[in-house]
């Protein structure tokens, strides 16, 4: 197995290094945005030919969900067109693609966890471009694996958990949306699941859903973060209507993970346990 990881400088890309090292997956080339621009089809094609890879794990994405409403072309280029480039080059060279997508391909008008066959109906530019990326990939390279996830956080980059931990440490009150439901996902857990998929005896193409276990609102997550420092009462619930954002988000974005658990025999940690691990890591690293 010889793996190329794109977008390796992001949250998931960084966690993949640790997960792969732990599982002794050693033949890996990690390419950050500066190393490999996935929107450049020639760069992708030549990289795949020269590298003689067996797999590409595409962690590259345009993830600024609100900014995407203004920067539609930039978002489309990374989340759709680049995925087409990767799919074409992979199909030509026989490289297997593992791509990451999002719970924001759904509209959230339900109260039951989404399985992989659920109808997609993205509400935002980001969600739309991710869905188009999925469709392009499965059309051009049907042997691919897509893992949809949601509410990703880690000690790296910018994310909700780090923002809340920083506010908490300043002693600031946080007004947090309590009517959007999903599951926070520690990028380290997703990285472990990706390692398990790659190490499975058989490559099992298709779409899979992965988040950590359990269900929460953003408010619940913020309370857990503040409460870890005994400050839970500084978090105030508000409604989505009270916190307008450029992009519309699904109110209910819980993923059904039955398929990924059964297919790859993985167990998934509860979000509260993983959140504690990440908060402890932030303290150890001096970030919180
Ligand atoms: N974050 C979430 O809450 C969330 C939720 C659901 C699904 N996902 C999906 O999970 C995956 C990983 O997300 P993440 O949180 O790790 O994202 P992230 O931290 O934003 O990382 C994405 C990486 O892609 C890179 N990138 C952007 N444009 C690129 C290009 N043209 N060529 C190569 N690299 C490029 C970025 O580099 P620069 O920063 O240097 O541009 C960044 O390092 C993505 O597919 C995302 O859509 C994320």
SS3 for 146-214 is EEEECCEECCCCCCHHHHHHHHHHHCCCEEEECCCEECCEEHHHHHHHHHHHHHCCCCCCEEEECCCEC
Confidence of residue 287 (pLDDT cuts 50, 70, 90): low
Residue 229's region, left for phi above 0, alpha for psi from -120 to 50, else beta, is alpha
pLDDT at 227 over 60: yes
Q: At 21, give phi and psi (nearest 5°).
A: -60, -45
pTM: 0.97
Confidence of residue 50 (pLDDT cuts 50, 70, 90): confident
Residues labelled catalytic: 126
Closest CA to 149 of 270, 255, 20: 255
pLDDT at 68 over 80: yes
Calculate mean pLDDT across residues 158-166: 96
**Arithmetic mean of pLDDT over the chain:** 96
Closest CA to 93 of 207, 206, 4: 4
Predicted local confidence at residue 25, as pLDDT: 96
Q: CA angle, corner 123, sides to 108 and 211, nearest 5?
A: 50
Predicted local confidence at residue 284, as pLDDT: 87
CA distance 179 to 69: 22
In the chain, % of residues over pLDDT 90: 96
Calculate mean pLDDT across residues 94-112: 97
Say which CATH topology domain 3-151+184-213+253-269 has.
Answer: Rossmann fold (3.40.50)
Residue 77 CA: nearest ligand 1 atom is: 31
Predicted local confidence at residue 51, as pLDDT: 72
* Per-residue tokens: 53: 């890879």
- Residue 19, ligand 1, Cβ within 6 A: no
Closest CA to 99 of 12, 9, 213, 212: 12
Q: At 30, give phi and psi (nearest 5°).
A: -100, 115
CA distance 115 to 108: 12
Residue 12 CA: nearest ligand 1 atom is: 16
- Residue 7, ligand 1, Cβ within 6 A: yes
In the chain, % of residues over pLDDT 70: 99
- Residue 41, ligand 1, Cβ within 6 A: no
- Residue 191, ligand 1, Cβ within 6 A: no
* Per-residue tokens: 253: 């974005």
Query: How does pLDDT run across 173-220, given as a tens digit for each residue?
Result: 999 999 999 999 999 999 999 999 999 999 999 999 999 999 999 999
> 57 in helix, strand or coil?
strand
> 223 in helix, strand or coil?
helix
Q: 93 CA to middle of ligand 1, Å?
A: 24
Predicted local confidence at residue 177, as pLDDT: 97
Query: How does pLDDT run across 245-260, given as a tens digit for each residue?
Result: 999 999 999 999 999 9
């Amino acid at each position: 197995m010889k793996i190329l990881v794109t977008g390796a400088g992001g949250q998931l890309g960084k966690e993949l290094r640790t997960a792969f090292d732990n599982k002794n997956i050693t033949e890996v080339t990690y390419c950050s945005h500066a190393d490999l621009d996935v929107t450049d089809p020639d760069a992708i094609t030549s990289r795949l030919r020269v590298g003689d890879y067996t797999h590409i794990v595409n962690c590259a994405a345009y993830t600024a969900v609100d900014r995407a409403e203004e920067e539609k072309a930039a978002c489309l280029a990374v989340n759709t067109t680049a995925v087409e480039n990767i799919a074409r080059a992979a199909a030509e060279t026989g490289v297997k693609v593992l791509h990451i997508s999002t719970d924001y391909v759904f509209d959230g008008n339900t109260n039951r966890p989404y399985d992989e066959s659920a109808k997609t109906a993205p509400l935002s530019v980001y969600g739309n471009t991710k869905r188009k990326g999925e469709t392009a990939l499965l059309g051009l390279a049907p042997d691919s694996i897509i893992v949809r996830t949601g509410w990703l956080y880690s000690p790296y980059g910018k994310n909700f958990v780090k923002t809340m931990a920083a506010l908490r440490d300043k002693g600031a009150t946080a007004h947090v949306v309590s009517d959007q439901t999903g599951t926070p996902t520690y990028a380290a857990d997703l990285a472990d699941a990706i390692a398990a998929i790659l190490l499975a005896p058989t490559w099992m193409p298709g779409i899979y859903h992965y988040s950590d276990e359990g269900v929460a609102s953003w408010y619940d997550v913020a309370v857990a973060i503040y409460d870890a420092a005994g400050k839970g009462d500084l978090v105030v619930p508000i409604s989505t209507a009270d916190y307008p954002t450029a992009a519309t988000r699904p109110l209910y974005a819980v993923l059904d993970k039955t398929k990924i658990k059964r297919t790859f025999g993985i167990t998934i940690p509860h979000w509260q346990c993983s959140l504690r691990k990440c908060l402890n890591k932030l303290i150890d690293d001096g970030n919180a």
